[in-house]
Structure 1
Amino acid sequence: MTMSKTRSEGSLPVVSLPLPVDVTAPAVARQAVRATLASLGFDDLAADDVLLATSELVTNAFEHGEKPDKLEVEYADGRLTLRVFDSGTNRPRLKEPSPMAARSRGLQLVHALSEDWGHELCAGGKYVWAVFSLHRTEAAG
């Protein structure tokens, strides 16, 4: 899979990556986001929350029968936005997980780690997005 810069919005172009429709999608997405953050000059510590949220968003798209289609990453004005597209129209819901449940914490994590998150319907399905405040150092660009 190769990333492509699809359009300019704000200060840096959107990076778009088609995702595989199998269990490798979260790992492929994490690798792409890690490379994008490194190219923007962010260190691993700044990337940790974004990478965990990436895994959760892609896993949710995969596990809920609405296979992930595409990942977009955009950085502008100190805000990084992730978008995970899938072909489903079921709206994601923030559930209160049971202490005994082994699952159902993905969106809770995204909610806790991101500045904001939500979803939008679009042609062919929907996308779930999450926004993070990340500020680059002067040395990084």
Structure 2
Amino acid sequence: MTTSRMPTRSTAAAAATVRLALPADVTAPAIARAQVRAALAELDVPDQLRDDVLLATSELVTNAFEHGGRPGRLELRTDGCELVIRVFDTSSSIPELKEPIAAAARSRGLQLVRALARRWGYDPAEGGKCVWAAFALS
């Protein structure tokens, strides 16, 4: 796991991976958004897709902070056709896609991710789980 807050990147042809360690406090979503924004600009991701990826990033990191024990790291991967944001946390509990209550100001995070992404899901990971969202690049 990367220990700095600066992203690291490995590239090959049209593929890239950005890894970011996340702090275990309320600054995690803002730090993740700033770093992902910079990576998306460098990867020349279209503006409309950038907005969707940034909103999904914010929701996934916020959920990891509030429901996942604590966020551990974020990975952004692209293979030229698809971009995937993966957020790792320290909980093994399955993410719950809740139906929002009209009067409630919260509990819409995964609904937003589902609406924005081509697909989303979760996988077990060492020390917890990974919740991810995938976006088409073409």
Please, what TM-score do these two structures have when normalized by structure 1?
A: 0.89
- Check conservation: 1:29, 1:58, Cα contact below 8 A: yes
Q: Deviations over 1:8-67 (max 9, x none)?
A: 688323110000111010011011111111001124333000000000000000011511
* Equivalent pair of 1:21/1:69 in contact (CA under 8 Å): yes
TM-score normalized by the length of structure 2: 0.91
- Flag structure 1 segments of 5+ consecutive residues without an equivalent: 136-141
Identity %: 54
The 1:44–1:8 alpha-carbon spacing in structure 2 relative to 1, beyond 3 Å, is: closer
The residue number in structure 1 matching 2:121 is 118
| Matched pairs, number | 134
**2: distance between equivalents of 1:54 and 1:4?**
17
Aligned structure 1 segments of 4 or more residues deviating by more than 3 angstroms? 7-11
For 2:102 and 2:125, locate their aligned partners in 1 and report how far apart those are by CA, in whole Å. Answer: 35
1:68 corresponds to 2:71: yes
Q: What is the match of residue 84 of structure 2?
A: 81
CA RMSD of aligned residues (A): 1.6
**2-side partners of 1:8 and 1:46: how far apart?**
21
Structure 2 regions of 5+ residues with no counterpart?
none
Which of 27, 30, 37 is residue 33 of structure 2 equivalent to? 30
